[in-house]
A and B are shown apart, each in its own frame.
Chain A
Amino acid sequence: EAEVAQSPRYKITEKSQAVAFWCDPISGHATLYWYRQILGQGPELLVQFQDESVVDDSQLPKDRFSAERLKGVDSTLKIQPAELGDSAMYLCASSHGPSGRALSTDTQYFGPGTRLTVL
């Protein structure tokens, strides 16, 4: 069964350093999501891509976070500089709506996540 791949699984960094996370969605999934999950809370959407275009980044702290999906396949989420409050699980998900368009009924498939600890 196809899965969403993420790396690294764990990352420890010091504050003010730069970190990057990678996600490879299920083949053929046009929609890709990055979520942040703080311990004890539900995931919160950071950014959503449709192919290579950003369709929602309203909750992305753009002063320090950036995301790209240059060829509309895999994606990278970067934090620079990292802050203590960025410690969380970063989840990537993908979905495939009919004709490549995301629908509200789509199933999102999640990767295993990257657990970030900022010291």
Chain B
Amino acid sequence: GAVVSQHPSWVICKSGTSVKIECRSLDFQATTMFWYRQFPKQSLMLMATSNEGSKATYEQGVEKDKFLINHASLTLSTLTVTSAHPEDSSFYICSAGVLAGGNNEQFFGPGTRLTVL
């Protein structure tokens, strides 16, 4: 099946620093990538939809200037958490999919656990 990688798998940073997370589709081209955030014992909450070559679409309540998303190619999307604060500590998961016809399966990355001290 399709493989999506995410890097880093975990990161610890100081408050006020920025952290970049990469999401790559390894064996397919993803027209769309999605970024989710998952707090402990909660569901996956969509943060933004990233389309290659265009601006990301952010969900209501997600600050686009704080969570910068770049989808420069069909295999790479990045999420940068700027000026991170302890409340940004979470599990960030990306997913990628090829949306054509009736096929809408999404493939998830392994996630990145961010801890902001």
| A and B together in one complex | no
